[in-house]
Amino acid sequence: NRSLAAIQAQVRRELEAEKKESSIEEAPKSGVDSRAGDDENVSPFLAVNGVYFKCPLIGPEVLPKDEWHKKIREFLYEQLTEEQGLTAVLIIHTCNKNREKVCSYIVQY
């Protein structure tokens, strides 16, 4: 039993030493990086705000989601003269947010 207690004590000391070493190594990582404030070191390509989308079927532009919804709506209304039934369903399905109401409306008609 005495050797078991000695082994357990040694394991505890080793674990505590490892914890101290890991906390010392993690401290600089979790702290504020001194280089983060330098505007010269920051790439301007990494400072893009927002999410942008691209659709080759509608146009070559890269736009935010709201503007794409407008473009898609315009595109669908332009296509309404060519294929009325399919385009009408696509307009109803694409331009409305509540999917349950859209599906129930399409099923009714």
| Pair (17, 54) in one structural domain | no
Whether residue 63 sits in one domain with residue 25: no
Question: How would you write the pLDDT of the chain (109 residues) with one tens digit per residue?
Answer: 567 777 788 888 888 888 888 777 665 555 555 444 455 555 555 556 778 888 888 788 888 888 888 888 888 888 888 888 888 888 877 877 887 887 787 788 6
Which stretch of DSSP H or E encloses residue 97? Answer: none
- Domain holding 11, by residue range, is 1-31
Determine contact, residues 50/62, Cβ cutoff 8 Å: no
Give CA–CA dist 65/49, Å, rounded: 13
Evaluate whether residue 43 is within a structural domain.
no
Query: Has residue 19 been placed in a domain?
Result: yes
Report which DSSP code applies to 32: P
Amino acid at 44: P
Residue 42 lies in a domain: no
In a domain, 7, yes or no: yes
On whether both 54 and 92 belong to a single domain, the answer is yes
Q: Which of 51, 78, 56 is CA-nearest to residue 66?
A: 51
Asked if 89 and 76 touch (Cβ cutoff 8 Å), the reply is no
